[in-house]
Amino acid sequence: MDGRDQLTPREVAERTGFSYHAVLRAIDRGDLEAFEPVPGRLRIELDEYERWRHTPRRRRGADPENGSDRMETQVGAPRSRRQRSNAASYRDELKAIEGGRA
């Protein structure tokens, strides 16, 4: 350690091997607590970094409060593209685009 009691998100990323943006997402989700001593300058306390580093990773969509494996609300921003349920729907759409040829 270098004697400081705070880290920047970039330093956390370098220490953990995560990307800088992954660290920012953890802060946005509330998994990693950060503060701004100066507006626009995030800092993470060393104790908080250690707690976060040793906390098991949550599965995406897990809801620990009610014990379910999936949350009822959507995680993340809505997708702009329609999602297909299976490969057959892709074939059907391709046939329609090509005028029934496939």
Write out pLDDT tens, residues 22-31.
999 999 999 9
Classified by CATH at the fold level, domain 1-58 comes out as Multidrug-efflux Transporter Regulator; Chain: A; Domain 2 (1.10.1660)
- Do 43 and 35 touch, CB atoms closer than 8 A? yes
- The pLDDT of residue 36 is 93
Q: What global pTM score does this model have?
A: 0.55
Give residue for tokens 């921003």.
77
- Do 45 and 6 touch, CB atoms closer than 8 A? yes
Structure tokens at 77: 């921003």
